[in-house]
Amino acid sequence: MARRKKIYEGKAKILYEGPEPGTLVQYFKDDATAFNAEKRDVVEGKGVLNNRLSEFFMNGLNTIGVPTHFMKRLNMREQLVRAVEIIPLEVVVRNVAAGSISKRLGIEEGTPLPRPIVEFYYKDDALGDPLVTEEHIIAFGWASQQDLDDMVALALRVNDFISGIMLGVGIKLVDFKIEIGRIWDGDFMRLVVADEISPDSCRLWDIHTGQKLDKDVFRRDLGNLADAYTEVARRLGVLPQNGAPRGKPTLIN
Ligand code: TMP
The string over 97-109, giving b where at least 16 C-beta atoms fall within 10 Å of a residue's C-beta and e elsewhere, is bbeebbeeeeeeb
The CA distance from 19 to 10, in Å, is: 21
Residues 159 and 57 in one domain: no
Number of domains in the chain: 2
With the most atoms of ligand 1 within 8 angstroms of its CB, the residue from 122, 129, 158, 177 to mutate is 177
For residue 177, the CA-to-ligand 1 centroid distance in Å is: 6
Is the same domain home to 43 and 74?
Answer: yes
Q: Residue 249: inside a domain, yes or no? A: no
Q: Is 244 domain-assigned? A: no
Residue 213 lies in a domain: no
State which ligand 1 atom lies nearest to the alpha carbon of 176.
10
Could you say which residues of the chain have pLDDT below 50? 240, 242-253
> Tell me, what's the pLDDT at 239?
82
90 and 182 part of one domain: yes
Asked if the structure places residue 248 within a domain, the reply is no
Inter-CA distances, 243 with 1, 47, 78, 237, Å: 31, 20, 21, 11
Q: Which of 171, 175, 205 has the most ligand 1 atoms within 8 A of CB, as the residue to mutate?
A: 175
Please report the pLDDT score of residue 83 as a whole number.
98
In a domain, 215, yes or no: no
Residue 2: predicted pLDDT: 62
251, part of any domain? no
Q: Do residue 119 and residue 140 come from a single domain?
A: yes
Same domain for 177 and 99: yes
Angle at 215 between CA 41 and CA 62, to 5 degrees: 120
User: Ligand 1 centroid to 100 CA: how many Å?
Assistant: 8
Q: Are residues 120 and 199 in the same domain?
A: yes
Same domain, 80 and 91: no
Enclosing domain of residue 47: 6-84+225-236
Half-sphere exposure of 190 (CA within 13 A, CB side): 9
36 found inside a domain: yes
Q: Which atom of ligand 1 is nearest to the CA of 215?
A: 11
Q: Whose CA is nearest to atom 14 of ligand 1?
A: 201
The reported pLDDT for the residue numbered 245 is 46
Phi, psi of 237 (to 5 degrees): 75, 15
Pocket lining for ligand 1, CB < 6 angstroms:
92, 98-101, 129, 175-177, 201-203
Same structural domain, 48 and 66: yes
Nearest CA to ligand 1 atom 17: 201
For residues 197 and 108, state if they share a domain: yes
